[in-house]
């Protein structure tokens, strides 16, 4: 019995489509089609993953006869499984977005706490408050980034399962979240102007940064939640760490030239933005420590400006790289 016959029968026992199996394996549907047409053969890591999915040995899958296996209704994939996301893509991205947003907000809260403690003339603890909240922020951010990277490696290719109705609903919610975040930052600026000269500058700066932390957290969360709908962009990001041969084997020979061109462009954009934001961090962090140590009210409020400028420069760099192809 051939591998093709075994694979087709095993899919049938689980009521699984080629696209659903492709999502579980992290390959394109075209790859599964080629395997079942005996025009290509899966790599060893995909064979081992198939054995895990269908609970069989490698010898049984490749050389045995699994066509006698009875249907497994308890393990069958629902007919609308794509709409329910069989690999946990949506749940993973929601958790990732929340943890990154909370982490970023906590880092800004560190500067807020330093400003408040400085306003209360407890300067000895201002740096402690700063590092405490930044540390909490990193506790959220670093594990989230590591888990996201691991998820991308486990699922380098995901079929787009979002429906038009869901996309429209998410776009509407995204607009509300983004507007709430921007309005919160505007309120923070208004509060800073109103409190100027009325209370201690450190306290005013702390309250302003507290509102900015909330606003930035909302914007980051809204952006990452919206970004999860860009499944094609996720696929490109996940493929960036793979070799061109591995990318071609995942997306298929027909789509390989187009996808490889996008991956190369994405790599250039990532490198450019990484350098820009590193330089922004080199400027912003010393500025933040200097402002906190010497109690400069202006830079306590606006130490984040280098990161904002860096973000704008990243957008310009991406546009320029995109135009050059």
User: For 209-218, what is the mean pLDDT?
Assistant: 89
Q: 200: closest CA among 300, 277, 124, 103?
A: 300
Highest-confidence segment of 58-62, 101-105, 273-277, 316-320: 101-105
What is the reported pLDDT for 95? 95
Q: Is 196 left (phi over 0), alpha (psi -120 to 50) or beta?
A: beta
Q: What is the CATH number of domain 3-69?
A: 1.10.260.40
Could you tell me which residues come within 8 angstroms of residue 33 by beta carbon, excluding any fewer than 6 positions away? Answer: 18
Domains of the chain, by residue range, sit at 3-69, 87-239, 244-325
Band of pLDDT at residue 173, cut at 50, 70 and 90: very high
**Residue 325 CB-density burial (10 A; 0-12 exposed, 13-18 middle, 19+ buried):** exposed
Window from 4-13, 193-202, 225-234 with minimum mean pLDDT: 193-202
Residue 10 has pLDDT above 70, yes or no: yes
């Amino acid at each position: 019995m051939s591998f093709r016959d075994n694979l087709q029968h095993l899919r049938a026992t689980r009521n699984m489509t080629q696209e659903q199996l492709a999502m579980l394996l992290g390959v394109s549907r075209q790859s599964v089609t080629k395997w079942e047409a005996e025009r290509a053969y899966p790599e060893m890591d995909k064979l081992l993953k198939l054995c895990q999915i269908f609970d069989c040995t490698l010898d049984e899958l490749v050389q045995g006869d699994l066509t006698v296996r009875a249907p497994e209704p308890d393990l069958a994939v629902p007919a609308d499984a794509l709409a329910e996301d069989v690999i946990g893509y949506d749940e993973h991205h929601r958790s990732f977005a929340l943890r990154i947003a909370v982490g970023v907000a906590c880092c800004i809260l560190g500067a807020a706490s330093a400003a408040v403690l400085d306003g209360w003339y407890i300067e000895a603890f201002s740096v402690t408050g700063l590092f405490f909240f930044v540390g909490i922020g990193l506790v959220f951010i670093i594990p989230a980034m590591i888990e996201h990277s691991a998820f991308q490696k486990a699922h380098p290719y995901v079929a787009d399962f979002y429906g038009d109705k869901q996309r429209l609903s998410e776009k509407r919610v995204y607009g509300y979240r983004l507007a709430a975040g921007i309005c919160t930052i505007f309120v923070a600026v208004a509060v800073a102007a109103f409190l100027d000269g009325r209370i201690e500058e450190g306290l005013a700066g702390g309250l302003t940064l507290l509102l900015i932390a909330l606003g930035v957290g909302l914007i980051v969360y809204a952006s990452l939640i919206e970004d999860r709908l860009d499944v094609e962009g996720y696929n490109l990001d996940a493929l960036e760490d793979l070799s061109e041969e591995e990318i071609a084997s995942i997306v298929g020979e027909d789509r390989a030239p187009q996808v490889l061109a996008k991956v190369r462009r994405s790599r250039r954009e990532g490198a450019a933005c990484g350098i820009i934001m590193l330089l922004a961090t080199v400027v912003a962090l010393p500025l933040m420590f200097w402002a906190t140590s010497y109690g400069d009210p202006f830079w306590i409020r606006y130490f984040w400006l280098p990161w904002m400028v860096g973000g704008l420069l990243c957008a310009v760099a991406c546009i320029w790289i995109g135009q050059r192809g």
